[in-house]
């Protein structure tokens, strides 16, 4: 498979703290790439600098579908095809669930009038299982439904690559299982995905390949079931004593 996203030499520092250190990796067309790592390993910072929300990298190159994104604004990056969700809910609480989708949709979706735009928004809600929540204020739906709303909002941007930052955080085991199925379905419908998650069972279930970061650097990479057995990964998560058990 050819690569749809290429990251070369990404770095980001905050004063003396080097959050990301010369990180390079790629994402193939149709791949789900999982990213794991202990707290403070640089996972969310990586998504921040890739999308320039709220800040960009100090150094490095980002290429999406053969096109450099290095000089683009956050809005231009989304328009080029790179969209993300965040760890915490980012919906407009006073708007309805349907209106949240409409706000995210590109201008081209309104070319033939609001009715067509609303039809696409309703289709996206049905896709993620929120058809019956369309008219409710976003503030009144559950945490799980707000996670799905964020995903639908990102899909409204027509991305080529979807970045999911802890999509299962705060979910119950049955909801995690449903989230796994949703991620798989989005991928099966042709979208390449990078997912950050602390729930290792989700990463192992959905990922074709797994990266583990530690102190902003690549610690391990490979097939998920192999990576989680790597002594260096066990040590990073659980400590040296656990790795030696």
Residue ranges per structural domain of the chain: 3-81+159-243, 90-158
Structure tokens at 101: 């989708």
Cα separation, 241 vs 78, in Å, equals 44
SS3 for 203?
Answer: helix
- The model's pTM is 0.94
Q: Encode pLDDT of 148-159 as tens digits.
A: 999 999 999 999
Q: Is 96 helix (H, G, I), strand (E, B) or coil?
A: strand
Q: How far apart are CA 199 and CA 221, in angstroms?
A: 17
Task: Please count the other Cβ atoms lying within 10 Å of the Cβ belonging to residue 154.
Answer: 23
Strands 209-214 and 217-222: antiparallel
| In the chain, % of residues over pLDDT 70 | 96
The yes-or-no verdict on residue 38 having pLDDT over 50 is yes
What tens digit of pLDDT does each residue of 50-91 get? 999 999 999 999 999 999 999 999 999 999 999 999 887 777
CATH 3.40.640.10 fits 3-81+159-243, yes or no: no
Consecutive H or E run containing 58: none
């Amino acid at each position: 498979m050819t690569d749809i996203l290429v990251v070369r030499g990404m770095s980001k520092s905050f004063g003396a703290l080097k959050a990301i250190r010369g990180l390079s990796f790629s994402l193939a067309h149709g791949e789900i790439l999982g990213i794991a790592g202990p707290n403070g390993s640089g996972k969310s910072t990586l998504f921040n600098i890739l999308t320039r929300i709220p800040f960009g990298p100090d150094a490095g190159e980002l290429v999406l579908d053969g096109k450099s994104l290095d000089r683009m604004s956050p809005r231009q990056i989304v328009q080029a095809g790179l969209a993300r969700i965040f760890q915490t809910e980012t919906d407009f609480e006073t708007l309805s669930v349907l209106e949240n989708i409409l706000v995210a949709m590109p201008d081209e979706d309104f070319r033939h009038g609001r009715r067509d735009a609303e039809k696409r928004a309703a289709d996206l809600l049905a896709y993620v299982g929120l058809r019956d929540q369309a008219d409710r204020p976003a503030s009144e739906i559950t945490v799980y439904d707000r996670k799905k709303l964020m995903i639908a909002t990102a899909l409204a941007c027509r991305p080529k690559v979807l970045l999911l930052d802890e999509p299962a955080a705060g979910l119950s085991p049955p909801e995690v299982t449903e989230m796994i199925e949703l991620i798989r379905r989005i991928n099966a419908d042709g979208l390449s995905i990078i997912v950050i998650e602390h729930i290792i069972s989700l990463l192992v279930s959905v990922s074709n390949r797994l990266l583990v970061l530690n102190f902003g650097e690549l610690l391990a990479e490979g097939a998920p079931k192999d990576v989680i057995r790597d002594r260096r990964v066990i040590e990073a998560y659980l400590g040296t004593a656990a790795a030696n058990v």
